[in-house]
Amino acid sequence: MRNYGMLTLALCMNGINAYAQQAPVIADYLGEFEGQEAPIMIQHKKQYLHSSGAVVTDKMVNFGFYRLVAGVKNNAYGAFNDAGKVIAPFRYDEVNLEAEEDNAYPQQNYAVVIVRDHGRYGAVDSLGKVICPTVYNEIAVLDPHLLKIKKDGLWGWADMKTGQVLQAPQYDEVDQSYVLEGAVQISKGRKVGLAAADGPIIVPLEYEGFDYLGYEGSPFFGYTKQGKTGIMHKNGTPVIPAIYDKCSHGPGPDIFAVTQQDKTGFVNAAGKLLLPLQYTNVESLGNFVKVTMGNKKGVVNAAGQEIIPAQYDDIKSFDGGGLIAGVGPVRNAYNDHGMAPYFAVTRGTTMGLFDSKGKQILPVAYTDINVVIYHNQAYIAVQQAGKTGLLDSRGQTVIPVAYEDIPVLSTTTYLYNDANAGTDKDDFLPVANDGRIGLFNIATRKEILPPKYEGIEWQNSQLMSLRNGDTASLATRNGAIIRGGRQYGFFTAVDTNRIVERRYDNNESVSVLTDMAGNVLYTNTYWEFRDDQVTRLLMPVNAKSDHPHFDSGLLKIWNASRKNLFVDTNGKEVVFEGYSFVGDFHNGLALAGREGTPDQELFGIINRNREIVYPMTLDDMAAFNDSLLIVTKGKQVGLIRKDGSTFLPSVYETISAIYQEPLFKVTSKEKEGLVDANGKVILPPVFDYISYRERTGLLEVSKDGKKGVADTSGKMRIPAKYDELYTNRRGDDSLFPILVKEGKWYFYLDANGQAFRYKSLKRQ
């Protein structure tokens, strides 16, 4: 959008000089910077210093794009840029900053300063070059490349970059054309025309108006002459005469809907009538048009052919995202999922389906039809007699119309969890009847499980847990029930071919390890298997919701009579002697503990072969982030990776992460330092404090009571030698300029540490 700053006064003054290479100025006080300005007082007069340090004004009245600033000094207006260069001297009655800054569309960007002197307007560019002398009644931005200029009541235009007058003022109005890109709409009296940006007339001043047809980049636009409308080519040649009450876009860029006496037909760019004026209404559906004849609907394609006759009560079109196409010429929206549009037609209370060529692929026999997207694939969901089914994009059955609901395609919630399923989990869809769910494989187009379960949970890529109240079952990925109907029991797949059964017999709980055939491989009177009983410290976040399972061929037996008891996949016991604790293995590693003294237990990490990966020297271990553990040794902490390697030695008092940056703040002897993600010391722990400023990527630091600024590479941008330091309070992406105090003097520093010329004994 444009940035305006209209400033009006009636006095002209000379500009001010930059501060560089000039003698120091002693101020009554200096204030902190807030954005591009800081309040200062010189000789008992309050003024404002610009962030360049080069310009002082009585007031800064507008901050524009590209950090241009308009201000007033001694009752006159001027403008200057971010470097402090005065581009419009402080001698004008009015200054207007006009600019556009859009990184997404840089071709639309511009910056110009419009000035007024004694009632006459001129313009300068952002470098201070005079574009237009102050001789005009008015100047405004016409488009990103042109200025409209007014003289003696008439308008023309000039090049915004060079100031060259491209069309002398001779029109009642000139505006940016919205029907022809880069052109200028001219008007005189009640007639309009079009001119090229460099001045030549494209369309003479003979028309009452022009209409945009809705196609970006189209070579055609509508025009009105003597109250009738037609279509014109961008070269100014009418292609359809002005004989219609209305002309609008059709289904294609060179086909148009034309209307006379409330009847609409279609013509092409050659003026040929493709369909007679017979429709009472037309409505855009992307590359198609829904037409109405009487109260019946049909569809016309981009070639101007009626592919669905106007025989239906209603028609809705689905785009490639499964959405109903809205009104408007939205082009090529149907290719997002490789699917051409489909048209659901309604006759009475039933619906059918046509493809984009007008071929009927579903009879008018369904109560509802919708196109849905499931994992980037388009399907057709249909309802019939209260049941739902799923068809492919050709109308072939994927899931028969036999279910009350297909939950993942609706908002209904059921207990279905496929987080631990295999890579083909998208092939499996839950289906529902009577509030119970089953499972359907849409790749094989077969029902895997009938809809009779309250919950289905994949335990791994091969096995699923099924629940019905207090009864549990276990099924394979093909739907075979291998454990079934055990009341109060549970089944947990701890490997692709190993299952733990929790049986409740005679009010007693028994945990049993079995193979797929049900053969008991291991049991233990004291073993109470629980899904939530597992040490997860070495696991990444995305694995912490998993059930306990075999890792490195071992499964931990919790609550056993022996410490550190595991079993292998054959049910053979494996005991890790010599440790007070060994946790579950993950990627071949496990937490382990040993008793040091009667009141002390030390921890470390071991591997499957009982080898020590990290020594048993730690008083505590805890999660720091997804890849690191914070470890405590006495009163000192460090960081280790989950593979047991050292990231930061245990020599610090505290360690904390800094926002989203790969940086860590550490303390040692109550002093703070900074370490990077490779463990390299960026700033040694010698600072009183380190404060990270996220938006700037800089650090405020204090050392021995003196303040400074560092960057995240460890470079001191401002040495820590100042008694006081105040950063820019609204600097957005910069802390600078900063106000510092050294000794008795306050002064400003820029981002390079260079001092401005202003100094004071007092801070505001």
Domain count for the chain, please give it.
Answer: 2
In whole angstroms, what is the distance from residue 570 CA to residue 119 CA? 98
Q: List per-block mean pLDDT (blocks of 10 residues) for the chain, which spans 764 residues.
A: 40 38 89 96 97 96 93 96 96 95 90 96 96 97 97 97 97 96 96 97 97 86 97 96 94 92 96 96 88 96 95 87 47 47 94 94 94 83 95 93 86 81 92 95 96 93 90 92 79 92 79 93 90 84 75 91 92 94 93 87 94 95 92 95 94 90 92 92 96 90 97 95 94 86 97 96 96
Under DSSP, is residue 549 helix (H, G, I), strand (E, B) or coil? Answer: coil
Q: What is the pLDDT of residue 334?
A: 39
Domain contains 404: no
Compute and round to an integer the Cα radius of gyration of the chain. Answer: 39
669 CB-near residues (< 8 Å, 6+ apart) = 653, 685
3-state SS string over 125-172?
A: ECCCCEEEEEEECEEEEEECCEEEEEECCEEEEEECCCCCEEEEEEEC
Whether 442 and 425 have beta carbons less than 8 Å apart is answered as no
User: Rounded to two decimals, what is the model's pTM?
Assistant: 0.76
Whether 684 and 653 have beta carbons less than 8 Å apart is answered as no
Whether 709 and 700 have beta carbons less than 8 Å apart is answered as yes
Residue with tokens 């059709």: 250
Q: Give, in degrees to the nearest 5, the angle at Cα 145 between 142 and 147.
A: 40
675 CB-near residues (< 8 Å, 6+ apart) = 648, 663, 664, 666, 681, 682
Domain contains 374: no
Q: Residue 717 is part of which domain span?
A: 653-723
- Which tokens in the block code for residue 307? 């592919």
* DSSP assignment of 312-331: ESEEEEE-TTSPBP-SS---
Residue with tokens 């001789």: 135
In whole angstroms, what is the distance from residue 620 CA to residue 602 CA? 8
| Domain stop point among 136, 167, 190 | 136
- Identify the DSSP state of 551: B
What is the torsional sign of CA 220, 221, 225, 227? positive
The distance between the two most distant Cα atoms of the chain, rounded to a whole number of Å, is 106
Q: What is the pLDDT of residue 387?
A: 95
| Domain stop point among 114, 136, 158 | 136
Whether 122 and 115 have beta carbons less than 8 Å apart is answered as yes
Domain contains 665: yes
Domain contains 759: no
Domain contains 631: no
Domain contains 83: yes
Domain contains 189: no
Q: What is the pLDDT of residue 412?
A: 66
Q: What is the pLDDT of residue 411?
A: 65
Q: Torsions phi, psi of 227, nearest 5?
A: 80, -5
Q: Torsions phi, psi of 134, nearest 5?
A: -80, 75
Q: What is the pLDDT of residue 373?
A: 81
Domain contains 693: yes
| Domain stop point among 84, 118, 136 | 136
In whole angstroms, what is the distance from residue 521 CA to residue 404 CA? 42
Q: What is the pLDDT of residue 661?
A: 79
3-state SS string over 256-280?
A: EEEEECCEEEEEECCCCEEEEEEEC
Residue with tokens 């010599």: 578
